[in-house]
Structure 1
């Protein structure tokens, strides 16, 4: 994996995890404003449009999609997708740290399995880069 691919994938993972955290925190705040309502309401939409955390989360998730798309132009999907899944680990850690979500030992274990899978896949390297080099010779 090249340096630019590593940087873009790291930015994608961070944008996705921080964006999800902001969006979750913003939506939980909105849900706390009107606990009597269980479903979607027009006021909920208005509050969402006014909440800076929701805007920040949305912008970061758009950036994630851009970084993800760019990384797919440089490496194989079979490489990029497992590496991006490292974001699951970051999401759990951020939810635990900043959203005060309880994370059970089983959930941490499952997250560790994801991490191990990402490590195994990342050891294979980005196949497209290797193919391009072989074809160029």
Structure 2
């Protein structure tokens, strides 16, 4: 069971990282267009941006890895613990995208962080998985 729990924590970290980096790349690509216009439809033109493509790929990987994580651990563990991604997304938006974040958003982010910490302090009740 100890090995299964370690795998759950490792995959949880990967799920969070793929989500945060994927959202950042997607947002960066949409806010900093490459200037290449194939159509008159900006979201379609954005699809040729390397940042947007990276974001799409990482969010697809995030979805698949989250599905795997949900098969390994309880839903009541996975969703609250992976919500740390919301906190990290807010920090990345503030630091790298220079977003103006109101005190109400910071307060909401603090509540999410509190819930993540409380949930993360409990064992994930991981199931054994095949290698």
User: In the alignment, which of 20, 25, 38 is matched to residue 23 of structure 2?
Assistant: 20
Aligned equivalent of 1:125: 123
Which structure 2 residue ranges, 5 or more long, are not aligned? Answer: none
Q: TM-score, normalised by structure 2?
A: 0.82
Aligned equivalent of 1:38: none
Tell me the matched-pair count.
122
Q: How does 1:36-115 map to 2 (within 5 A)?
A: 42-115=40-113
Looking at structure 2, the residues matched to 78 and 23 of structure 1 have their Cα atoms a distance apart, in angstroms, of 28
Which structure 1 residue ranges, 5 or more long, are not aligned? Answer: 34-40, 133-137
**RMSD (CA atoms):** 2.1
SS at match of 1:124: coil
Q: TM-score, normalised by structure 1?
A: 0.79
- Structure 1 runs of 4+ aligned residues shifted over 3 Å read none
Q: Highest Rg: 1 or 2? A: 1
Looking at structure 2, the residues matched to 112 and 45 of structure 1 have their Cα atoms a distance apart, in angstroms, of 33
Structure holding more helix per residue: 1
Looking at structure 2, the residues matched to 45 and 118 of structure 1 have their Cα atoms a distance apart, in angstroms, of 34
